[in-house]
Amino acid sequence: MSSTPPASSSLPALAIVTGAGSGIGLALSVGLLKRGFDVVAIDRDTSTADARTRRYSLDVRDAEGMARVARDFAGRPARYVFANAGIGGAPGDALGLADEAWQWAWDVNFLGALRTLRLWWPHLLAGGGKAVATLSAAALTSFPGAGPYRASKAALLAALEGLYYQAQGTGVAVHALCPGLVRSDILDLQRYPEACPLLAASGTLPNPFAVHVERAMPYAESAVDFADRVLQGLEQGAPFYWLTHPEARAWIDARHRTIEQNRPPFNDFGVPA
């Protein structure tokens, strides 16, 4: 664990990133370092996080540990807090997955993100900062085979909408980052000890969502390019509903049209809406 830094206005601007050991979180950390930020990098395994960051090996489900890190920086204003840690979770839907599969996605993707923003909120208030939660276009679209992932991201979006209204007049900006596909290790479930029993319990039937993502991942935008676009957008004034990949807009529109017209759920898997 890092030692407690002194509270001083002479210190560089502070940025916090969860899920900083790989993918989007790692790329955000590197981009923030290049911009001169003092970066707090939080991940279950920080051995792959950038060595120039203040690394904390923590699971975002560890409420006490997460609170302890925030206390380490008491009195230090934060410019950015990226509640980025998330898991793809066990593939499957309502009838094929055990309670544990749903709970895992909920605890990481929903509670972990809200906990991060809540604990660092005093720092954001002090710094007039920006709170950014990584969701997914999946929070607004329909993907059979990705039940826990979609449900947890949709719930997080609903909670963030409430936070957006709460934050009005505080000086803190709230952003729901809803990307399309970004190249990462999100499909590598074997790195999580929780995954093995859940995958065994869910059976071995082909999963359309997992197959689609696996095929599309090599062609996805790199995490480095995506993170650079995100940081530029924050500097230039980003929206709350931040749909970073244009193709997602047509899918979202198509889904809502089906709802309005009482038709079956729209399932795109990359097909034009």
Q: How is the chain split into domains, by residue range? A: 14-247
Residue 158 burial (CB < 10 Å; 0-12/13-18/19+)?
A: exposed
Place of tokens 């950014």: 132
Q: Which two tokens stand for residue 54?
A: 């203040």
Q: Phi first, then psi: give them for residue 187, nearest 5 degrees.
A: -85, -10
pTM of the model: 0.90
Residue 269 burial (CB < 10 Å; 0-12/13-18/19+)?
A: middle
pLDDT in the model for residue 91: 83
Mean pLDDT value across the chain: 88
pLDDT tens track for 40-87: 999 999 999 999 999 999 999 999 999 999 999 999 999 999 999 999
Q: In this structure, which long-range contacts are made by residues 212-220, counting pairs with CB atoms below 8 Å and at least 24 apart in sequence?
A: 212/269, 212/270, 213/88, 213/181, 213/186, 213/187, 214/187, 216/181, 216/270, 217/181, 217/183, 217/187, 218/183, 220/180, 220/181, 220/182, 220/183
pLDDT in the model for residue 199: 65
Give residue 268's identity as a one-letter amino acid code: D
Q: Which of 35, 118, 63 is nearest to 15 (CA)?
A: 35
pLDDT in the model for residue 90: 83
Place of tokens 């707090």: 40
Q: Which two tokens stand for residue 132?
A: 């950014």
Q: Which fold has domain 14-247?
A: Rossmann fold (3.40.50)
Number of H helices, E strands in the chain: 9, 7
- Compute the distance between CA of residue 191 and CA of residue 169 in angstroms, rounded to an integer: 42
pLDDT tens track for 186-242: 666 667 777 767 765 555 456 777 777 778 778 889 999 999 999 999 999 999 999
pLDDT tens track for 144-199: 888 999 999 999 999 999 999 999 999 999 999 999 889 887 666 667 777 767 76
| Poorest-pLDDT segment among 161-165, 223-227, 253-257, 266-270 | 266-270
pLDDT in the model for residue 6: 40
pLDDT in the model for residue 2: 43
